[in-house]
């Protein structure tokens, strides 16, 4: 567990700057299908640097950001310091420390695949009020929609340490329904980032499976990434498209 918690500690700055946010259209699903309102209390489990908490805070929600990594938690506290409704909590998905029946919505964005699938569901049910909902959210980078994305995927696989082990795209409604013993729905939305080279490099380095500057392969990795950028960039920018997937169920 400690390895999982700490693997993002040296990624915080890039994570804050270069990870994508979430499309505004997503909130129609929360409102129409999950009983969400601006008055809902939200538990953001594995809240990281606060990227997933921010859009709820902007809409007036009280958000409990539960994050075990101290560096990421501190980054969230700085990133969200203008929002008095943000409550930063040192906790895990398995032990949030939140009271029983205390929140109207439980979310986990880019995080559920790190949780213990045996114990986390019970903790979510414990902290949720009756008839509350759970939403698991991922920005899934499109892998082969164009030549750049195919070459970028090959680049990641060439240099990544445990890429296949930590990928989460095998988690879908069937897997979740079996784990939680509840019926999950799914909604998907288009999302994208438009990045200069610094942004593309920061986005790559925000992933825990990529080598850091301490790795002997780092200079070659950056040089090859720059070649990719020079080959495909238009007007000094590269677009990375995502599909934002929201999996949800009544707790």
- Could you read off the pLDDT of 61-106 as tens digits, one per residue? 999 999 999 999 999 999 999 999 999 999 999 999 999 999 999 9
Supply the pLDDT for residue 207. 86
Supply the pLDDT for residue 209. 85
Supply the pLDDT for residue 6. 46
Q: Are strands 103-109 and 128-141 parallel, antiparallel or unpaired?
A: parallel
CB atoms within 10 A of CB 226: 13
Supply the pLDDT for residue 169. 60
Supply the pLDDT for residue 4. 47
Supply the pLDDT for residue 165. 60
Supply the pLDDT for residue 168. 55
Supply the pLDDT for residue 175. 92
Supply the pLDDT for residue 166. 57
Phi and psi angles of residue 178, each rounded to the nearest 5 degrees, phi first: -70, -40
All residue ranges of the chain with pLDDT < 50 are 1-9
Per 3-state DSSP, the chain is made up of helix, strand and coil in percentages (nearest 5) of: 40, 25, 35
Answer yes or no: are the C-beta atoms of 38 and 60 closer than 8 Å.
Answer: yes
Give the predicted TM-score (pTM) of the model. 0.89
């Amino acid at each position: 567990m400690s390895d999982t918690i700490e693997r993002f500690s040296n990624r915080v700055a890039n994570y804050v700057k270069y990870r994508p946010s979430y499309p505004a259209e997503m909130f129609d699903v929360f409102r129409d299908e999950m009983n969400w309102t601006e008055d809902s209390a939200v538990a953001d489990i594995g809240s990281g640097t606060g990227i997933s908490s921010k859009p709820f805070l902007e809409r007036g929600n009280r958000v409990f950001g539960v994050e075990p990594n101290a560096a990421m938690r501190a980054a969230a506290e700085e990133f969200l310091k203008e929002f008095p409704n943000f409550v930063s909590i040192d906790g895990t998905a398995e032990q949030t420390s939140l009271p029983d029946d205390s929140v109207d919505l439980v979310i986990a964005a880019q995080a559920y695949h790190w949780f213990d699938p045996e114990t986390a569901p019970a903790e979510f049910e414990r902290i949720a009020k009756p008839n509350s909902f759970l939403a698991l959210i991922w920005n899934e980078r499109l892998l082969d929609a164009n030549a750049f994305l195919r070459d970028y995927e090959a680049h990641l696989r060439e240099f990544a340490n445990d890429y296949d082990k930590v990928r989460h795209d095998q988690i879908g409604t069937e897997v979740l329904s079996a784990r939680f013993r509840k019926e999950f729905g799914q909604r998907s939305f288009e999302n994208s980032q438009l990045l200069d080279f610094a942004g593309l490099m920061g986005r790559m380095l925000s992933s825990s499976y990529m080598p850091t500057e301490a790795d002997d392969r780092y200079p070659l990795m950056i040089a090859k990434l720059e070649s990719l950028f020079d080959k495909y960039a238009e007007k000094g920018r590269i677009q990375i498209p995502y599909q934002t997937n929201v999996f949800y169920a009544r707790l």
